[in-house]
Amino acid sequence: MKTTLAALTLSLAALLATAFPLDRKAGSAAGAAAKEKRVQYAAWDDVNVIAHGLLQLGQGLKEHVDKTKVQMRDISTKMKVFNRTVTELGKESQRLREEGEALKVRARGLEDREGQLLNVTAELKEKAEEMQQERRTMGERLSRLERKVDSMLQGESGPADPRNKSEVRTIQLMLETQNRRIDDLIERIRLQQEKLDKQNVRIRTLQSQIQQSRLRPSPLASDPNGQEQGDSPAEMASDCHELFLRGETTTGIYTIQPINAEPFKVFCEMTADGGWTVVQRRQDGSVNFDQLWQAYEKGFGSLNGEFWLGLQKIHSIAGAGGYILNIKLSDWGNDLASIRLPFQLGGEETKYSLRIQETGTFSILESSLGTDATSGLPFSTQDQDNDQKNDTNCAKHLSGGWWFSNCGRSNLNGRYFQSPPPKQRHQRKQGIFWKTWRGRYYPLKSSVMMIAPAAIENKS
């Protein structure tokens, strides 16, 4: 546009110079007079050319002005959008700051309440200990009186004194009263402990929400393609029992996020006592469990059907210990068996070693896994032979992956056989079995393995 305007200006200047030439100072007066007569009037064609040039110049100037107005309107619109975006970002930042402050206040309030509950619990424990001491003292007194009464009844000290019997009866009544008071105190302590557990979960949740609110990106932030991004997800529970404590009571699929782990989906079995995280389910043979190490490490199958959650995920939940392994079995007569074992699962460096806590003598059912795993039992698959049998790969000899000791006590990840089982004995031992329930050569109908914090055991 600037080039066009410059060309038009030069053209007009040339035309004006041609149409109206300047007088020269040199020359005679007569010649000047004659020349003045010759150029006194411009030619009509020259006037038309000048007028046409002026029209073109005006038209060019008008187009330039119109384009400049459009550009100014675009710039003004963009400035309004920018100002509105900045205002909305300021409001959103203010809202996030207010939410963060509110969460901090709630967290401080819950911490104060936790401190109060801890004080109350400590007082109750002291009272319970005092009551226990009184109970022991009364028991000793009662024992002495009983011995005295026995000796009197046997004639060692003469006839029995009714006053001694009355005193014994009085002490027995006092002991019964003390026992009731102690039982009441123990129940109150249990209820206080449950409240403390819930308060701790809420405090951890609020602390995580505060951290998330600090790290949460603005909902108005956009990606390179101009698409708006959504808010970051809300803080997730670390296992199904924490979901239960938050009020979830429906069995189904949820997303959890254990500490120092990425979120993942699990199947939660919600009961009246708490939430159980299901880590294995066998029910119809729809999934092949004869998998290699990597599959057992990552997990496979469908959470709505048969599946293995994955050693990595199980370790992220129960790696720190303090969990219960709940195993439920059924046979083809629909008889059921249930085994509960306190356990801890090591990490990859231990080959996901299963360690069962020995709280006493194992029952017959528990011995199929508990006896061999008290010192830690590594996981084995066809391509990772970590069992305790030197001359045999138990996972290859049987089937699937399991915490094998010497191949013969249990394997809930073996081949699934429909009823009736195969006749060959070497085939039947490749099935799902629990030796101390139905024997090594009886392929079970179903199995479910679930885990939950040990605190749930006190409520069951």
Does residue 247 form part of some domain?
Answer: yes
138 domain-assigned = no
Structure confidence at residue 217 (pLDDT): 44
pLDDT of residue 136: 78
Per-residue pLDDT of 130-148, as tens digits, reads: 777 877 777 777 777 767 7
Q: Report CA-CA distances (Å) from 169 to 66, 145, 149, 165, 177.
A: 113, 10, 12, 6, 12
The 10 Å Cβ neighbour count of residue 391 is: 4
Whether 403 is covered by a domain: the verdict is yes
**What's the number of domains the chain is made of?**
1
Is 101 within the bounds of a domain?
no
Tokens read off for 272 = 């009246």
Residue 425 belongs to domain spanning:
240-453
Is residue 351 in some structural domain? yes
Average pLDDT over residues 248-261: 93
Query: Tokens 């008071």 belong to which residue?
Result: 181
Rounded Cα distance between 249 and 118, Å, is 28
Helix H, strand E, coil C: the string for 138-173 is: HHHHHHHHHHHHHHHHCCCCCCCCHHHHHHHHHHHH
Residue in this structure with the two tokens 């550009």, named with its chain if needed:
71
The residue among 304, 254, 310, 314 whose CA lies nearest residue 284 is 304
Looking at the domain assignment, is residue 281 inside a domain? yes
The pLDDT tens digits of the residues spanning 171-213 come to 677 777 777 777 777 777 777 776 676 666 666 666 655 655 5
Using the predicted structure, report yes or no on whether residue 6 has a pLDDT greater than 60: no
Q: Tell me, yes or no, whether 348 lies in a domain.
A: yes
276 in Cβ contact with 240 (< 8 Å): yes
Q: Find tokens 């002490």 and name the residue.
A: 171
Find the CATH number of the domain harbouring 379.
3.90.215.10
Residue 337 covered by a domain: yes
Residue 26: exposed, middle, or buried by beta-carbon count in 10 A (0-12, 13-18, 19+)?
A: exposed
pTM beyond cutoff 0.75: no
338 with 327: CB under 8 angstroms?
yes
Q: What is the largest CA-CA distance in the chain?
A: 182
pLDDT in tens, 412-446: 999 999 877 788 888 888 999 999 999 888 999 99
The whole-angstrom separation of Cα 376 and Cα 386 is 12
